[in-house]
Structure 1
Amino acid sequence: MSDLEKSPQVLEKGPQGQRRGRGARERILDAAQQLFREQGIRDTGMDQLCAVAGVSKRTVYQHFGSKGDLVIAHLRRVDPDVMPEVFDRTDLTPRERLLAVFQAPLSTADATSAAQCGPLMSAFLEIGDPEHPARVLAREYTRALTVRLIETAREAGAADPELLGQQLALLLDGVTARTRTLGEDALPTAVGIAAALIDQATVHSA
């Protein structure tokens, strides 16, 4: 019987034999988020992940059939609704929402906004197979984010919202890659560039 089929009263034993209640799946995903962020997907071994999560390999594979399945679950957990904490805010103007995409620190583990793109980009860069589900998911997310940027650019009154949305999406890709590659926070510079692009696009529409 798998952990998913157990009643709430049934407990599992971790790698050191300690009894643990439910929540193993969340602990595994939390460990994956930490380790994938710190050292990458390829360099994270299952033994290390089990140690951090406090579960056995058997439990991991009961919840996730393979490491690939775990990667997919991890990525789906990142930002399933494409930055609702930015795009769905009614207290911000469309211009402010566009800038808010760039205003969360990428280095913070629980940061929202631009930080959400980091794990997806990492998966895209680390996995060679273009048809791997993780890369497909990363592409789908990037397209969905671009659509939201275009829609918000239209609300902001951009003369060419398609162009502005694509420019901001490209800027976000660049700042995410630079931050993760060099370990420096490039977001302050990106905010200035984004503001200039938005102002230029909306002034020309007036």
Structure 2
Amino acid sequence: MEHAHDPSTAADDAPALPRLRPGGSRDRILDAAYELFLQRGIRDVGIAELISRAGVAKATFYAHFTSKDELVLAYLERCHQDMTVEAIIAETGRRTENPTGRLMAIFDVLDGWFREDDFQACAFISTMLEMGPAHPLGITSIEYLAQVRAFIRALAVEAGLEQPDVLARSCHILTKGSIISAVEGDREAAVVAKRMAASLIRDHGGDPIAAD
């Protein structure tokens, strides 16, 4: 069942996206990276600051991560699990089993995320823009983003929509664009994007209203 937009319940509808977690020295390093990279980006944060924030020895850091790039890859993997791709897939499935409804629910999930007090930009978009699409970290970020497009395409195929590749590309553009707009301060970005997605679904032979 597709949920109508209700700002008063958006935070309650949002998936529980874990932030920091207890653990050993590796987890403390990842916690520090998670906090600092999200706030300031990759290049601005040095290894010495990460070591200090994590409260570990330099030797301990290098026992877990041979380079800063290796740490960034682990950080992106955590973001993949906690913040975006896997969280979106799981939450849309919790809301409805209807594939068209799940397509629409993607934007409800984003809406809840955008309205969080500590909302920050998608780590994959930020890393790709900062490092560039040809850098190994940029390439990895693009690969994670592509998983969202693949998920959208799979739902379009399951729903029997026409030209699922085209629809997936179009809806993926809407998701990424709404994230950037939300970072700019437009907390209604996902609501607008959802209306545009409904039009796309109709253009591809579907009925977003029937999925309610």
TM-score grouping bracket, smaller chain normalisation: 0.7 to 0.9
Aligned partner of 1:11 in structure 2 is none
Tell me how far apart the structure 1 counterparts of residues 66 and 97 of structure 2 sit (CA, whole Å).
Answer: 42
Larger Rg, first or second structure (1 or 2): 1
Contact 1:35 1:44 (C-alpha < 8 Å) held by counterparts? yes
State the partner residue of 1:102. Answer: 107
Give 1:1-206 correspondences, 5 Å limit. 23-79=24-80, 82-83=85-86, 84-86=89-91, 88-89=93-94, 91-104=96-109, 105-106=113-114, 108=116, 118-128=122-132, 130=134, 132-180=135-183, 182-185=184-187, 186-203=189-206
> 1:133-157: per-residue Cα shift (whole Å, max 9, x none)?
2122122223232122111012223
Question: Structure 2: where are the runs of 5+ without partners?
Answer: 1-21, 208-212
Q: Taking structure 2 as the reference length, what is the TM-score of the superposition?
A: 0.71
* Partners of 2:205 and 2:30 in 1: CA distance: 42
Q: How many residue pairs align between the two structures? A: 178
Per-residue deviation, residues 97-124 of structure 1 (Å, max 9, x unmatched):
112222231464998xxx8x81111111
Indicate conservation of the 8 Å contact 2:178/2:190, yes or no: yes
Percent identity over the alignment? 35
SS in structure 2 opposite 1:101? Answer: helix
- What secondary structure sits across from 1:99 in the alignment? helix
Residue 103 of structure 1 aligns to a residue in which SS? helix
2:96 and 2:34 map into 1 onto residues whose CA distance is 31
Q: What is the rounded CA distance, in whole Å, between the counterparts of 2:131 and 2:194 in structure 1? A: 30
By how many angstroms is 1:166 displaced?
1.0
How far 1:195 sits from its partner (Å)? 2.3
Distance in 2 between residues matched to 1:78 and 1:197, nearest whole Å: 29
Long gaps (5+) in structure 1: 1-20
Which has the higher relative contact order, 1 or 2, with Cα contacts under 8 A spaced 6 or more apart?
A: 2
For 1:118 and 1:95, locate their aligned partners in 2 and report how far apart those are by CA, in whole Å: 24
- Per the TM alignment, residue 71 of structure 1 is displaced from its structure 2 partner at its CA by 0.6
- Distance 1:106-1:137 versus aligned 2 partners, 3 A rule: farther
CA RMSD of the aligned region, Å?
2.9
Partner of 1:8: none
Structure 1 residue 191: deviation in Å? 1.9
The structure-2 alpha-carbon separation of the partners of 1:45 and 1:53, relative to structure 1 and needing over 3 Å to count, comes to same
Name the structure 1 match of 2:19: none
